[in-house]
Amino acid sequence: MKNKEKNFVNFDSKSQLKEKILKLKKDNNAVLLAHYYQISEIQDIADYVGDSLGLAQNAVKTKSDIIVFSGVHFMAETAKILNPEKLVIVPDLDAGCSLAESCPEDDFKKFKEKYPDHIVISYINCTAAIKTMSDVICTSGNAIQIVESFPKEQKIIFAPDKNLGGYINRKTGRNMILWNGTCEVHNILNTEEIINLKIKNKEAKLIAHPECKATVLELADFVGSTSAMLKFTKFDDSKKYIVATETGILHQMRKESPEKEFIIVPSDETCSCNDCFEMKKNTLKKLYLCMKYKKPEILISNDIIEKAKKPIIRMLDISRKLKLI
């Protein structure tokens, strides 16, 4: 039976796999949540595709029994923290995030102890353990507003992304202490190449994710989360955009604005593309198998769930109050 199953999967076409996934979703009352950086075939069959903020919000709202999360580990972990009673499964348990991994629990604990009078605002791209040490979470979609919800004189540690933290400091005039972490996909986007593209495409606007280096953000006409960039390209009157982020978002940009041109910024010589290798570990076949066998499952201890939930709920409450969601 096992071999039969294996052969069956191997010889299935993409469209057959998609049909089977949709049937499993219905039969098991499951919801499929996918990040914009997923392959286009997964985005096309998801119940909700969005950025980290939208995904967290949808994870709270869902009435389904099973959450199938196609993204990276910290995102599925967030869904589990918000729904401890539900089964949360992922296509590939090894799909991690270089940024979350740049902030190990023990090192961060020592770092935090150096600043006892500071609160901790953590970017959602961190492990559940870091969330337990945080006062409030933010995403790239609400980071500035979350920081500004605290008085100017409030001392703040911002972790783990120093590029996003530096961007918020410049935008808000704050002086947050930054953890020295970066996303390996955004941090290597090539400034020289961006300038060349701008010279060759004078009419194009540069849009960038705030995980990019300050030198890239300084050149940008618009900086925002994946959802914010998508919205910007939909309603802005320009016809051409140079896009400084992960490639997966182009699928939705082209779907929403088929008449517009999108040019992705290449990375430097250390990487041939700006695909997030971790996000792209999720394939249709792995998605099908995880739904068929209902594993691998995200498991977190009750103690961590209790502590990590508070700063996430606080973020969602502030976002609701400010009408960001």
Binding residues vs ligand SF4 (CB under 6 A) = 72, 97-99, 125, 183-186, 211, 246, 276, 278-279
User: Which CB sits closer to ligand SF4, 250 or 276?
Assistant: 276
Q: Which partner in ligand 13P, ligand SF4, none is near 77 (CB below 5 to 8 A by kind)? A: none
Write each residue from 24 to 53 as x if it is in contact with ligand 13P (CB under 6 A), else as -, in one continuous string: ---------------------------xx-
As measured in angstroms, the least distance from the Cβ of 84 to ligand SF4 is 23
Judged by CB under 6 A, the stretch of 19-27, 137-145, 260-268, 294-302 that binds ligand 13P is: 137-145
Query: How far is the CA of 257 from the CAs of 123, 200, 252, in angstroms?
Result: 30, 22, 8
What is d(CA 161, CA 85) in angstroms, rounded to the nearest whole number? 31
As measured in angstroms, the least distance from the Cβ of 285 to ligand 13P is 23
As measured in angstroms, the least distance from the Cβ of 151 to ligand 13P is 25
- Counting Cβ atoms within 10 Å, is residue 155 exposed (0-12), middle (13-18) or buried (19+)? middle
Residue in this structure with the two tokens 């096992």, named with its chain if needed = 2
As measured in angstroms, the least distance from the Cβ of 9 to ligand SF4 is 27
As measured in angstroms, the least distance from the Cβ of 66 to ligand 13P is 22
Q: Which partner in ligand 13P, ligand SF4, none is near 57 (CB below 5 to 8 A by kind)? A: none
Q: Is 248 in the site for ligand 13P (CB under 6 A)?
A: no
Q: Which partner in ligand SF4, ligand 13P, none is near 98 (CB below 5 to 8 A by kind)? A: ligand SF4
What is d(CA 31, CA 110) in angstroms, rounded to the nearest whole number? 39
What is d(CA 13, CA 3) in angstroms, rounded to the nearest whole number? 18
**Are the beta carbons of 325 and 57 closer than 8 angstroms?**
yes
Q: Is 190 in the site for ligand 13P (CB under 6 A)?
A: no
**Are the beta carbons of 311 and 133 closer than 8 angstroms?**
no
Contact with ligand 13P (CB under 6 A) among 183, 212, 216, 316: 183
Q: Is 226 in the site for ligand 13P (CB under 6 A)?
A: yes
Q: Is 141 in the site for ligand 13P (CB under 6 A)?
A: yes
CA atoms within 13 A on the CB side of 180: 2
Extended beta strands in 246-287, E state: 261-264
Sheet holding 240-244, edge to edge: 222-223, 205-208, 240-244, 261-264
Quick one: CA dihedral 195, 37, 124, 271, positive or negative? negative
Residue in this structure with the two tokens 């191997």, named with its chain if needed = 10
Residue in this structure with the two tokens 């286009």, named with its chain if needed = 40
User: Which CB sits closer to ligand SF4, 194 or 276?
Assistant: 276
- Tell me which residues touch ligand 13P (CB under 6 A): 51-52, 125, 139-141, 183, 209, 211, 225-226
